[in-house]
Amino acid sequence: MRSESKIILFAFLLIISGCSLFNKTKETSNIYYSSGIENLILKAIGGDTTANKSLGYFTDLNLPLNSNYNDFSVDSLIISSGKKYFLALISFPNPIYNRFAVYDSTLRLYILDKSLNGYLDDSVFNLNKQKMVRVSERFISKDTLKVHRVSLFLIGDSTARLAFRTFTKLAEPKIEFSQTVTEINVDRIRTEMNSSKESEISNKADVFLFDYSKKKYISSSKIFDNFVINQIRNFDLKPDKPEITDLKSFYASVGIDIDVDTLKTTANTNDRLGFTLTLPDNWRTIKNLTIADYLKKEIVGTKYLNEQIGASISVIMIPPDDSAEMYVKYNLKFQTSGKYKVRYSDKIPMRKDFVQFFEFSCNDNKYILILTASKYTYETYKDIFQSIINSFTIDC
């Protein structure tokens, strides 16, 4: 169904966001076809926040933009009721950008999977008058181990959900292990395991029963999955090429250096550098980050990100005798006085974004704040941004 893409190196443990089942995309009277959805996705990965929002935030705009995909297509399927769905599958050299999504013709999002690795391929088959989408992954772990994984998505009249996921192959230098689906029906999936040489999983079988409350096929033992995970963990080879195994390596793969202990989602945060900032939900904090955008030189600071709306606020502490203009390329021509002295710029258009700079000072404490948001996001959430900026408190 898809042409092969380039091999990418990736560790098996990446499940940053996994699959999310939700129907939050705003309904529209427009009718979309494969070509229209494909064009919107291309705009979204190119940084178009309006297109990204219409797609249910298909890509994470807090990450560096990446349009250099390996393979991409949008295919359609029609279920027994006659309803049409569209399957979007895209893979990149860096798998943190990989996506599988299901939309209908009104652009309603049914599922968005961000946890896919390596070569990607999909196919469709029938299961008792329902449609199943099979997404296959092939990737490399620890520079040497070849790993295959399969996911089955159940498509219904008004839902799309991940129903089954398991490893199907692990190839080590001297032995290969496999798990094959031998039976699949509405009540259960049965698999059989084997290996190229006699091993602990040779001729074993597993049964995944359909849990009607969770809408998933579940095995109580997960024999092959547990076996593959243990084999990879215990494989005695330190990889030369970078792998993504946690949040720190996730961000490092796109050039963001963070201390994983400082990455969190928070509502009220004190960064222990003399200030407090109150944030709504869905904002992520990255401390000790090198910040360079819109600055004359790189400075370590704290960045707050909201990938859902594509906005960020950076906070940088500077010496009390310095001014923001020593670091910022733009003039902060407005000023207010109160408990703190606040200097700020107008909103400055930067291609598709607005950027605004603030300088807060109190006694010997001085900070630069940088607000970045798309023009649409800036206008839509202006009151929220103003509330966040107004919540900035200095310990002085």
Are the C-beta atoms of 150 and 170 separated by less than 8 Å? no
Q: How confident is the model at residue 175 (pLDDT cuts 50, 70, 90)?
A: very high
Q: 53-75 burial, b if ≥16 CB within 10 A, otherwise e? A: bbbbbbbbbbbeebeebbbbebb
Q: How confident is the model at residue 21 (pLDDT cuts 50, 70, 90)?
A: very low
Supply the pLDDT for residue 23. Answer: 42
Give the integer Cα–Cα distance in Å for 170 and 145: 7
If you average pLDDT over each of 53-57, 159-163, 247-251, 377-381, which comes out highest? Answer: 159-163
Are the C-beta atoms of 77 and 84 separated by less than 8 Å? yes
> Each residue of 81-126: pLDDT tens digit?
899 999 999 999 889 899 999 999 999 999 999 889 988 999 999 9
Are the C-beta atoms of 62 and 97 separated by less than 8 Å? no
Give the integer Cα–Cα distance in Å for 286 and 312: 11
β-sheet bridge partners, residue 112: 20, 101
Supply the pLDDT for residue 266. Answer: 37
- What residues does each domain of the chain span? 19-234, 257-394
Q: How confident is the model at residue 8 (pLDDT cuts 50, 70, 90)?
A: very low
Supply the pLDDT for residue 200. Answer: 95
- Per the confidence metrics, is the pTM higher than 0.95? no
DSSP state for residue 345 in the 8-state scheme: P
The answer to whether residue 15 scores a pLDDT higher than 60 is: no
Q: How confident is the model at residue 298 (pLDDT cuts 50, 70, 90)?
A: confident
Torsion sign, CA atoms 6, 9, 11, 15: negative
Q: How confident is the model at residue 158 (pLDDT cuts 50, 70, 90)?
A: confident
Q: 100-124 burial, b if ≥16 CB within 10 A, otherwise e? A: bbbbbbebbbbbbbbbbbbbbbbeb
Q: Is 294 left (phi over 0), alpha (psi -120 to 50) or beta?
A: left
> Each residue of 329-369: pLDDT tens digit?
888 989 886 667 899 999 999 878 899 999 999 888 899 99
Torsion sign, CA atoms 3, 100, 258, 286: positive
73's CB contacts (< 8 A; 6+ apart) are: 2, 38, 88, 89
CATH of range 257-394; options 1.10.20.10, 3.40.50.10490, 3.40.1000.10, 2.50.20.10 = 3.40.1000.10
- Angle at Cα 271 formed by Cα 267 and Cα 276, nearest 5°? 60
The answer to whether residue 172 scores a pLDDT higher than 90 is: yes
Are the C-beta atoms of 348 and 329 separated by less than 8 Å? no
